[in-house]
């Protein structure tokens, strides 16, 4: 367990994690009654049947980068064939008890690195989808945004029997599947301008829009030492999430990390506990 004095801007120490029930209770006690900003990651959606990126036992992932996606039709065919199958499965996922507990807790701001939209479906009101939402599609030409469901229907019509033929492919956390043979899949263009389509999510190689990041920084800054930043289900491997932990710790705001496995922010946390997201959030509620 990592323990720092709440509100102290001390130098980070070597991280130690704990799943001891007493340590979990201490973390819960710290959070109780405080204003909260919550940062959630893929680990929160595993209880909804969506695999995570870096949890215990998770296989290595190599997501397609933005630069690869725009490199030409072959990459776009490979991406959309996989994503078409993954979306067909992901859209049937339901919010779990952890999502519902967060909606009931109603933090000052819920920053999610997830693109599955389950926080919104659970009823959370103040949500920043840091990496966008896979339920929407954007044209890289005219920038028109359209519902993913409409594109899904177009792809079904252009590729009859495709989903049934590839039914055994393993689902991946990016909203796609593990599939090598994508030859023959027909990728539609933008219905308005004929441009290239992509999910309205932030790919590796893209930046999170600056106004989106600033809204999150403002919420973290407003916490002071009387609020707390809670991280659930994120390894904080990428800077898009870790920067908020660094911001809070530098300001002396208590940070609690609840995650299965070590995270990149453990040495900055007031408490870092090895516990399931749903278990921790329902106990906090």
Write the DSSP assignment of 190-251 as a string of letters: -TTT---EEEEE--BTS---HHHHHHHHHHHHTTTTTSEEEEES----SHHHHHHHHHHHHH
Task: Note the pLDDT of residue 176.
Answer: 60
Per-residue pLDDT of the chain (285 residues; tens, 9 = 90+): 444 444 433 333 334 577 789 999 999 999 999 999 999 999 999 999 887 765 555 445 567 899 999 999 999 999 998 888 888 777 889 999 999 999 999 999 999 999 999 999 999 999 999 999 999 999 999 999 999 999 999 999 999 988 777 766 666 656 565 667 788 899 999 999 999 999 999 998 899 999 999 999 999 999 999 999 999 999 999 899 999 999 999 999 999 999 999 999 999 999 999 999 999 999 999
Q: Is 152 marked active-site?
A: no
d(CA 45, CA 68): 27
- Residue 218: inside a domain, yes or no? yes
d(CA 229, CA 40): 11
Residues 103 and 223 reside in one and the same domain: yes
Domain boundary among 201, 223, 252: 201
Domain boundary among 151, 175, 201: 201
Active-site residue identified among 84, 99, 131, 152: 131
Residues 213 and 170 reside in one and the same domain: no
Question: What SS3 state is found at 77?
Answer: helix
- Residue 249: inside a domain, yes or no? yes
- Residue 27: inside a domain, yes or no? yes
Residues 170 and 29 reside in one and the same domain: no
Task: Note the pLDDT of residue 50.
Answer: 85
For residue 45, the enclosing domain spans 21-50+97-131+208-284
Q: Which long-range contacts (CB under 8 A, 24 or more apart) does 57-65 make?
A: 61/172, 61/173, 61/174, 63/174, 63/203, 63/204, 64/203, 64/204, 65/203, 65/204, 65/205
- Residue 8: inside a domain, yes or no? no
Residues 142 and 190 reside in one and the same domain: yes
Q: How many domains does the chain have?
A: 2
Does 216 count as an annotated binding residue? no
Q: Which long-range contacts (CB under 8 A, 24 or more apart) does 13-20 make?
A: 13/267, 14/267, 15/262, 15/266, 15/267, 15/269, 15/272, 16/266, 16/272, 17/262, 17/266, 17/272, 17/273, 17/274, 18/272, 18/273, 18/274, 19/273, 19/274, 19/275
Rounded to 5°, the CA angle 51-56-57 comes to 70
Residues 140 and 266 reside in one and the same domain: no
- Residue 2: inside a domain, yes or no? no
Does 193 count as an annotated binding residue? yes
- Residue 59: inside a domain, yes or no? no
CATH number at residue 169: 3.30.1600
Please give the DSSP secondary-structure letter assigned to residue 18: B
Cβ–Cβ contacts within 10 Å for residue 67, how many?
Answer: 12
Does 139 count as an annotated binding residue? yes
- Residue 233: inside a domain, yes or no? yes
Residues 224 and 253 reside in one and the same domain: yes
Residues 81 and 189 reside in one and the same domain: yes
- Residue 12: inside a domain, yes or no? no
Answering whether pTM is above 0.75, one says: yes
Residues 80 and 151 reside in one and the same domain: yes
d(CA 65, CA 232): 26
Task: Note the pLDDT of residue 15.
Answer: 44
| Closest to 58 in 3D by CA, of 199, 237, 205 | 237
Domain boundary among 143, 166, 201: 201
Task: Note the pLDDT of residue 181.
Answer: 76
Residues 159 and 268 reside in one and the same domain: no
Does 277 count as an annotated binding residue? no
Residue 127 Ramachandran class (φ > 0 left, ψ -120 to 50 alpha, else beta) = beta
């Amino acid at each position: 367990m990592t323990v720092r004095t709440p509100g102290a801007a001390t130098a980070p120490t070597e991280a130690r994690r704990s799943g001891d029930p007493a340590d979990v209770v201490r973390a819960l006690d710290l959070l109780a009654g405080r204003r909260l900003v919550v940062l959630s990651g893929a680990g929160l959606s595993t209880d909804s049947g969506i695999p995570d990126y870096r949890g215990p036992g998770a296989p290595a992932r190599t997501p397609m980068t933005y630069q690869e996606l725009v490199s030409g039709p072959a990459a776009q065919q490979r991406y959309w064939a996989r994503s078409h199958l993954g979306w067909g499965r992901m859209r049937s996922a339901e919010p779990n008890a952890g999502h519902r507990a967060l909606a009931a807790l109603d933090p000052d701001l819920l920053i999610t690195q997830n693109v599955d939209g389950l926080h919104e479906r659970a009823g959370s009101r103040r949500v920043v989808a840091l990496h966008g939402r896979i339920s929407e599609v954007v044209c890289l030409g005219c920038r028109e945004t359209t519902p993913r469901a409409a594109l899904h229907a177009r792809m079904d019509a252009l590729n009859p029997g495709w989903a049934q033929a590839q039914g055994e492919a393993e689902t991946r956390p990016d909203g796609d599947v593990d599939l090598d043979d994508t030859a023959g899949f027909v990728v539609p263009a933008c219905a308005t301008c004929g441009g290239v389509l992509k999910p309205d999510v932030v790919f590796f190689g893209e930046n999170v829009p600056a106004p989106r990041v600033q809204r999150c920084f403002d919420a973290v800054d407003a916490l002071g030492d009387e609020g707390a930043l809670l991280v659930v289900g994120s390894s904080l491997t990428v800077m898009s999430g870790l920067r908020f932990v660094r911001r809070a710790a530098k300001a002396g705001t208590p940070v609690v990390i609840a995650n299965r496995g070590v995270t990149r922010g453990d040495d900055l946390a007031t408490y870092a506990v090895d516990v399931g997201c749903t278990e921790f959030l329902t106990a906090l509620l």
